[in-house]
Amino acid sequence: MFDPLREKKTPVLSPGMVIQGKWKHQTYRVVRLLGQGANGSVYLVWRDQVQAALKIGPDVTALALEYTHLENLAIHPLSTCKLGPAVFELDDIAFQGVSWSILVMEYIAGIPIDQFIQDKGSNWVPLCLLKIARMMEQLHALGYSFCDLKPANILFDVQTAQARFVDFGGITHHTQAVKEFTEAYDRAWWGRGSRKADGYYDVFALGMLGVQLVAPISRKAIEYLSTKAPLERDFWLDEHLRTHRLIDKVVPTLIKMVARIPSMDSKAVIADMTNLLGKKGDLSVKNEMILPAKKVWRRFDVTDWWLLVAVFTFVSVLFLLLWIGRS
């Protein structure tokens, strides 16, 4: 019988362990834990001679749905590039006498987008957003939104800079309510629209992802905002964007992406980002020539005052010593 108690704990698989699927009799050797969330854990496993990602979780329905989505995407004639991992199988395993559902997928090596940008520098942001927007466009053409767009769900290959979505648990058909979201990327949370899935929902989330990359909103700020009404969050975001509008040339586009009245779909984002990248070649040279104003005038702050006090003390001590020496 279906046992709600299973919600309690996802089994912990230890490295070296060999498990076998109940239906397809495929064996998997556990290498290590890749990630853990509220909805289950993902392990790196050997599936014959190939490495694979094995997702194990308490929610039978969620895993079966994710499997269906991934399979549909893989065989769909409109898919031109790989959006997510290829699926191997949906199966069950027995662990300590209890049956658990597992989903085995292609293992995608890569690092989350925020880490990727940290390594490469923020001038990679337009390119990354462009790549994600291209994947989004395909998904939207099929009538789906990705919804839970956050750094951990977008992996970049370090060498090729190829982007892939992982975790399709949040993928939602347009006109349905968004299933999974993260506050900082959610349109409704910011008071800028509904929580119904549509193409604009993803564009908003992508815009917020861009904001997180060039002008991060701290976890503390999010916690503070979670006690405020959506209208106040909305104003706060405006203010945040206004103060950071000169920090990066991508910001004006981001402001349009997260606007209250959506004007940009994924195609428009692609066009804008391509534009930014296209100009980049000559702009980077021009920037240095035309914009010596980049030298920012700093207002005096506390450090400067202390410096002044220190210099003053030093000079007066010097005079004091001189005076003592003379007399």
Partner 1 sequence: MSSETVLRQILLVTDGCSNVGSDPVRAAKTGISRGISTSVIGIVDDGSLGEQGKREAYEIAEAGGGMCRIISVADLSMTMQMVTRQTMQLTLQQVVNEELRNLIGKPTDELAPDVRTKVAAMVDTMAEESELHMALVIDVSASMASKMASVREAVRDMEFGLKARSGRYHLYVFTYPSAYSMSADEHVLEDQSGSIADILAHIRPAGNTPTGPALLAAIDRLLASFVERGKEDAGGHMRDYVV
Both tokens of 243, joined, read: 């103060």
Residue 146 sits in the site that holds partner 1 (CB under 8 A): no
Residue 64 sits in the site that holds partner 1 (CB under 8 A): yes
What is the nearest approach in angstroms of partner 1 to the Cβ of residue 7? 4
Closer Cβ to partner 1, 135 or 178, answer by number: 178
Residue 114 sits in the site that holds partner 1 (CB under 8 A): no
- Residues 6+ positions from 261 with CB-CB distance below 8 Å: none
Using the rule CB under 8 A, give the single segment among 3-11, 272-280, 285-293, 313-321 that binds partner 1.
3-11
- Per DSSP (E only), the strands in 24-136 are 27-37, 40-47, 50-57, 87-95, 98-106, 111-112
Residue 61 sits in the site that holds partner 1 (CB under 8 A): yes
Among 91, 114, 202, 248, interactor with partner 1 by CB under 8 A: 91
Question: CA-to-CA distance for 280 and 290, rounded, in angstroms?
Answer: 14
Name the active-site residue from 114, 148, 167, 198.
Answer: 148
- Beta carbons of 51 and 32 less than 8 angstroms apart: no
Among 28, 107, 168, 189, interactor with partner 1 by CB under 8 A: 189
From the list 42, 86, 92, 51, the residue with the least C-alpha distance to 67 is 86
Angle at 213 (CA atoms; ends 212, 216), nearest 5 degrees: 40
Using the rule CB under 8 A, give the single segment among 25-33, 226-234, 250-258, 280-288 that binds partner 1.
226-234
Using the rule CB under 8 A, give the single segment among 111-119, 188-196, 284-292, 310-318 that binds partner 1.
188-196
Among 176, 263, 287, 313, interactor with partner 1 by CB under 8 A: 176
Angle at 148 (CA atoms; ends 185, 212), nearest 5 degrees: 35
- Beta carbons of 241 and 255 less than 8 angstroms apart: yes
Phi-psi region of 91 (alpha: psi -120 to 50; beta: other; left: phi over 0): beta
Among 33, 158, 214, 222, interactor with partner 1 by CB under 8 A: 222
- Residues 6+ positions from 156 with CB-CB distance below 8 Å: 110, 111, 112, 113, 116, 128, 162, 163
Residue 300 sits in the site that holds partner 1 (CB under 8 A): no
Among 30, 59, 74, 161, interactor with partner 1 by CB under 8 A: 59
Residue 171 sits in the site that holds partner 1 (CB under 8 A): no
DSSP of 262-278, one letter per residue? Answer: ----HHHHHHHHHHHHH
Residue 174 sits in the site that holds partner 1 (CB under 8 A): no
Residue 144 sits in the site that holds partner 1 (CB under 8 A): no
Q: Is 148 a catalytic residue?
A: yes
Q: Which residues bind partner 1 (CB under 8 A)?
A: 1-2, 4-5, 7-8, 23, 38, 59-62, 64-65, 67-68, 89-92, 99, 101, 175-183, 188-189, 194-196, 222-223, 226-230
Catalytic residue annotation: 148
